[in-house]
Each structure stands twice: as C-alpha cells, then as structure tokens.
Amino acid sequence: MPRRRPLNARQLLQLPVNPYSAVRGMSSRLLADIRVLEDDDPTLWQGSVERALRLWTEYLHDPHRHLRAFGTGTRCELYECCGDPLEARHLLRRAANRLPTRTAKELRRFVARTAERHAA
C-alpha cells in the first residue's frame, strides 16, 4: 500500500508553466525565435512580446484611441504595470529588428494583419 495516493504524488511532479510568448496564429519557428530573443535580450522578459502584441491589439480595437493622451499623468508611467500601447508597438518593432530575417518578416506580417483587422 503506497503512503500517498498516486494522484497526490503526480501533483507534486507537475512542472510550472513558463510564461513565454505563445500567440495563436504564429508558427512554432517564430515562437522559438521569440523565446530565444526574450532570453538573450536584457530589455525583454518572458512573455514581453505577447504582452506588447496584446496591448497594441487592445489599443487598435479601442474606438476612442485617438482621444487618449499618453504621458498626461492619468496612468502609471511604468510599461510593466499599466502598459503604453505606443511603447508596445516600439517593442514589437525592436523585436522584429532583432529576429532572424525569415521570422522577422512573419512577425511584421502578423502585426500588419492584426492592425488591418482592427483598423477603423
């Protein structure tokens, strides 16, 4: 008779999920290159490209986006906290410039398709 039930023993063996970028619609090659980039670049963290893409998409989807004024003190100035969509777009550009050519093109196309889908 085992000391612990097998279910409890298996729960202890589960590994934590890494919060790397995982965006639906991106190829596994692009996701792998983004993961390497997030690990190697000291200005990026795990999941930063995914967060930047989400912030940029939310900004494009907002019908009142042209009325917003960033840097007016109404929001926290830390990108990691509240996020600035314009800084997110800048982060996506930096990531695309640092990726290999093939995957950089794919990331640029993905961002452009997202922008077209949400364009007003």
CB 83 within 8 A of CB 91: no
pLDDT by residue, tens only, the chain of 120 residues? 556 566 666 666 666 666 666 788 889 999 999 999 999 999 888 888 989 998 888 888 877 666 666 555 555 656 566 678 888 899 999 999 999 999 999 999 999 998 887 665
Distance between CA atoms of residues 95 and 81, nearest Å: 20
Distances from the Cα of 109 to the Cαs of 12, 30, 41, in angstroms?
A: 42, 12, 22
Residue 63 structure tokens: 């019908």
